[in-house]
Chain A
Amino acid sequence: MSLFDIWLGILQGLGTTAAVTAYGLVFAVPFALVFGIAQYLTQGVARLLVTGVIEFWRSSAVIILLFIFYYALPVVGITLSAMTVSAMVLGLNAGGYASQAVRAGLQALPPGQREAGAALGLSRPAILLLIELPQALVAMSPTFVNTLIQLVKATALVSLVTLTDMTFRAKEIAQVEYNPVAIYTALLLAFFVVCYPIALAGRWLEARVAAPGSRSRGI
C-alpha cells in the first residue's frame, strides 16, 4: 500500500471521528451554557454544587473517565452504546472547559452593562439573554473553537473502546501491513487536515473579535 492508500484507509474512520465529535457537541454545548451561566449567577452552596459538577468533568483525566463509564455503567445496569458513552464523556469534558469560558466571558463584562439593562426596566433573565450573553459569546467564540479542536483530538480515545475511528483504522492497517512510518504519519496528517482549518478559522475569528477594545489576555 502506498502512503496515499493508507491515508484513504485511515479516512474510512473519519465518519466515526466526525460522528463522535458531533454527538459530543450535543453534550458539550448545553453543558457549557447551562453550567457556565449557573456558575455566574449562583452563590453560596448552589455555586459550590455547580462548581463541583464542572470540576468533576473538567479536572478528571478524560481517558480514565471514559474507561470508568465504559466499564462501570453496565455493572450498575445501564447499557449505553460505546458511541453514546464516548460522546457523553468527551462532550462533557469539553463542555466543562467551555463552561469556564462562558463564565469568564460573562464576568468580564463591565457591570455597567447589567446596570444599564436594569435601568431600562429589563428583567434579570432578559438582561442575561439580550445583553450579557450575546456579548460574552462573541468574546468567547475563539475559545469555543479551541475547545472544538480539543474535542476532535480527544476522539482518538474512542479507538480504545472499540469504535472504528481514524486511530482505530490506523491500528487495523498496522496489523496487515508493517509500515509504521507511513501509517502513523498518515494518521497525524489525517487529523491535521481536519483540525488545522478549524484552527485557522478560529484565528480569523479571534482577529475579528479582538478588534474592538477587548483586552483578551488569553489565559
Chain B
Amino acid sequence: MGFDLAFALSSVPTILGAVGTTLCVALVSCIGAAAIGFFFEMVRRAGGIAGLTVGFVIDFIRSTPVLAWLYFLYFVLPFYGIRLGSMTVGVMGLSLYYSGYLAEVFKAGIDAIPKGQSEAARALSLSRRDAVIHVIAPQMLRNIAAPLGNYFVSILKATPYLAVLAVPEMLGRAFDIASETYRYTEPLVVAGLIFLALALVISHGVKRLERRLLAVGAR
C-alpha cells in the first residue's frame, strides 16, 4: 500500500476547505478564554473569599484535561435541557479550559509592571482610573501580547479535539474522507501538515512581534 501522494493531494482541497472553520473556532475560543481569564484574574486579585475560590477554580481547570471538559459540557448541558450546537459547545469548552491559562498570563503581565509605575502615577496625583487606563493597561497589553499569541497557537492546535464532538473542522474532514475511502494515512497526514504549517507561521509572527515589543520596551 504505502503512501499515495496523488490521493493525498486530492484530499487537500476538502481539508483546506475547513481551515476557515478551524481558524474561526480558534479565534472565538481565544477571545472567550481571554475574557473569562481576565475576569478570573481580576476577581482573584481582589482577594477575599471570592478571590480564593476563583484561584481554586483556575487550579482545578489547569489540573484537568481539555477532552474531559469537552465531554463534560457536551453531555451535561443537554441533561439540564440546554441544547447547543456542537460547535458552540466546543468553543465553550476551549474557552473555559484555556481561561485558566490566560488568567495566569494576565497575572504575569500585571505583576511584571514594576511597583514604581503605579507609585509614580499616584505621586503625579492621577486618579485610580487614569492610572489604570494610561499607565497600567498599556504596559499590561504589551506584556501579554506575545504569550497571548502563543496561547492562540495552542488553542488552534486543540481545535481538532472538537472532531470528537463532530464539529466539521479539519480533522473531522480528514476522518470523513478516511471513512469514505478506508484510507486513513493520507488525509490525516495532510491535516497534520496543515496544522503544523499554521502553527509554525503564527508562532514565527508572534516571535517577531515579541522582538519588536522588546525593542521598544527596553528600559
Contacts and interface: CB of A to CB of B under 8 A. Distances in A.
A and B touch in the complex (CB under 8 A): yes
Interface of A: 55-56, 59-65, 67-68, 71-72, 75-76, 149, 153-157, 159-160, 167, 170-171, 174, 180-181, 183-185, 187-188, 191-192, 194-196, 199, 217-219
A190 to B, nearest CB: 9
27 contacts: A55-B196, A56-B196, A60-B199, A63-B171, A64-B171, A64-B191, A64-B195, A68-B185, A71-B185, A76-B2, A153-B63, A153-B64, A154-B65, A155-B65, A156-B65, A170-B71, A181-B76, A184-B71, A184-B72, A188-B69, A191-B63, A194-B63, A195-B62, A195-B63, A196-B63, A199-B59, A199-B62
Contacts of A170: 68, 71
B211 to A, nearest CB: 14
Interface of B: 1-3, 59-60, 62-69, 71-72, 75-76, 78-79, 108, 112, 146-147, 150, 153, 157-161, 163-164, 171, 174, 178, 184-185, 188-189, 191-192, 195-196, 199-200, 203
B79 A72 contact: no
A192 B161 contact: no
Contacts of B2: 75-76
Contact of A191 (B3, B68, B160, B161): B68
A39 B150 CA distance: 21
Contact of B203 (A59, A60, A72, A195): A59
B195 A75 contact: no
Contacts of A59: 153, 157, 196, 199-200, 203
Contacts of B147: 219
Contact of A64 (B63, B71, B188, B200): B188
A65 B192 contact: yes
The listed residue with most A CB atoms (<10 A of its CB), out of B59, B112, B159, B192, is B192
A64 B62 CA distance: 22
B67 A156 contact: yes
A72 B3 CA distance: 9
Contacts of A167: 65, 67-68, 71
The listed residue with most B CB atoms (<10 A of its CB), out of A55, A71, A174, is A71
Contacts of B1: 75
A33 B171 CA distance: 32
Contacts of B60: 188, 192, 196
Contacts of A191: 63-65, 68
Contacts of A188: 60, 64, 68-69, 72
Nearest to B56: A196
Given A72-B184, A75-B185, A192 B146 contact: no
The listed residue with most B CB atoms (<10 A of its CB), out of A64, A157, A171, is A64
Given A153-B64, A184-B71, A62 B188 contact: no
A199 B185 CA distance: 37
Given A60-B192, A160-B164, A217 B112 contact: yes
